[in-house]
Structure 1
Amino acid sequence: MVCASLHLPKSLLSPYQPVNKQYTYAVSIFFTIPAMKMGIWIRKAREAAGLTQTELGDAVGTSKGNVSAWELGRHSASFDRLRAIARATGYALPDSEAGLENVVPADIGARQIPLINYVQACQVAETLAAYAVGTATATEYLLPDRDLSTNAFALEIKGSSMQPEFREGDRVIIDPAVEPHPGDYVVAKNGKNEATFKKYRPRGLNDDGEAVFELVPLNEDYPSLRSDREPITIIGTMVEHRRYRAR
């Protein structure tokens, strides 16, 4: 019988690092679960989420071949990879081998976040209700790691204005219900009725007592935007950033 093999982070192996007892206990459980049974859990989780092996691989940063090998029990995913699968599919990780017999999916539909384009993002500022979960015009949905407002949405990064932290093709989840704090990343509508993704930086109050803020690109080759120089409407604040392995 082949049992799951775990690839522990260096922080758990080093005697000079504090031990995360809860994480270590969770990892130890998976030493007792056969790879074949974990493979069945991965397949059930993937199918319940409506994902292909390629799509699940993209979501957790690996190849279709690896996903297929996990499902067939040929080799095992690391514990961190299993946690990523749980987040991507909405399936709870089993707490023991017995827990694999009655795996129940989370309510995936209630947590789906629509991936929309930048034109639609501008419309969010005008009609938030149009982008409630399940009603947005979207061809793809993401599963967030936390509970978000019904108006949360996702965008795919375009261009290089936010490099090196954000690369083209990265995806960000935005929640209009979250107020930005200094240093947060936000999506905003500028004076040209275009959506833009930038770093939020307050600049105090103007003579009329109105808050002034600046939207700053991380790439110095691009200009900043100021709310006292052109009309800017904050649409929402980034609550999650996802980077996918380049194909």
Structure 2
Amino acid sequence: MSLADRVKQRRLELGLTQTDVAEKAGITQQSWASIEDGKTLKPRNIVGMADALKCEPAWLMNGGTFVPVSEVNTRRIPLINYVQAGALATKPAIEAMDGSFEYVLTDMDWSQYTFALKIVGDSMEPDFKAGDVIVVDPEIEPAPGEFVVAKNGEHEATFKKYRPTFFSEGKQHFELVPLNNDYPTMASSDHAIKIIGTMVEHRIYRRKR
């Protein structure tokens, strides 16, 4: 059974239309139809599709024994704001922060300090748009070209691409690079920047028209 077959079969089992599941997954109906037709073999938002179909992303991609999402070992990741993320530069434990949280679910084995952040602004367009949600693990060291959440001396955190530059006096210097050229690049040699965590998941949600 192919990815297309599994996607269509599961959608029909749930009694949903392509429009229904596409909206839940954050993609267009045309994109969903392309997946069921076998034209798209590696969907970008496989996690969102699995959420819409109430199944594991791994089962959608690879097949095998179907396990309902209710039986998957999922955990809740707190969805925090940029000010709260900035506080993690000095207070790494989510539980130490005041206030209640919304949560997102994941079946990945990220660290206990992992958090989710909803993108605001347009500095990381076109790849990351306002309203997208990223999952960030502070225990993972970034590799060149990966995306990080960092504190740049202000109260709030920032989300940018990580680019190491030079090594000096036992310290790795780096730049935080926006994908939108209208915004400046920040260098750790010029600013007090602290990496908070590395992005490990990117979730795209359909925008209301």
Q: What TM-score results when the alignment is normalised by the length of structure 2?
A: 0.72
**Sequence identity, in percent?**
42
State yes or no: 1:163 paired with 2:138: no
Equivalent positions of 1:19-168 (< 5 A) are: 24=2, 28=5, 35=12, 38-39=13-14, 58-61=23-26, 78=36, 84=48, 86-87=50-51, 91=55, 105-106=70-71, 110-131=74-95, 137-144=99-106, 146-168=108-130
Cα drift, residue 139 of structure 1: 3.7
Secondary structure, aligned partner of 2:80? coil
Cα drift, residue 61 of structure 1: 2.5
**Structure 1 residues 150, 89: CA separation in 2 closer, same or farther (over 3 Å shift)?**
farther
- Alignment-mate amino acid for residue 166 of structure 1: F
- Alignment-mate amino acid for residue 117 of structure 1: N
Find 2:188's aligned residue among 227, 231, 237.
227
Taking only aligned residues, the RMSD between alpha carbons, in angstroms, comes to: 3.8
Distance in 2 (alpha carbons) for counterparts of 1:229 and 1:211: 13
Higher percent of residues as helix: 1
Higher percent of residues as strand: 2
**Structure 1 residues 33, 148: CA separation in 2 closer, same or farther (over 3 Å shift)?**
closer
Unpaired segments ≥5 residues, structure 2 = 30-34
Greater RCO structure (CA 8 Å; 6+ sep): 2
Cα drift, residue 128 of structure 1: 1.6
**Structure 1 residues 82, 242: CA separation in 2 closer, same or farther (over 3 Å shift)?**
closer
Q: What TM-score results when the alignment is normalised by the length of structure 1?
A: 0.62
Unpaired segments ≥5 residues, structure 1 = 1-22, 43-53, 67-76
Distance in 2 (alpha carbons) for counterparts of 1:33 and 1:170: 25
Larger gyration radius, structure 1 or structure 2: 1
**Structure 1 residues 152, 211: CA separation in 2 closer, same or farther (over 3 Å shift)?**
same
Following superposition, which runs of at least 4 residues in structure 1 exceed 3 angstroms of deviation? 26-35, 56-59, 77-96, 135-139
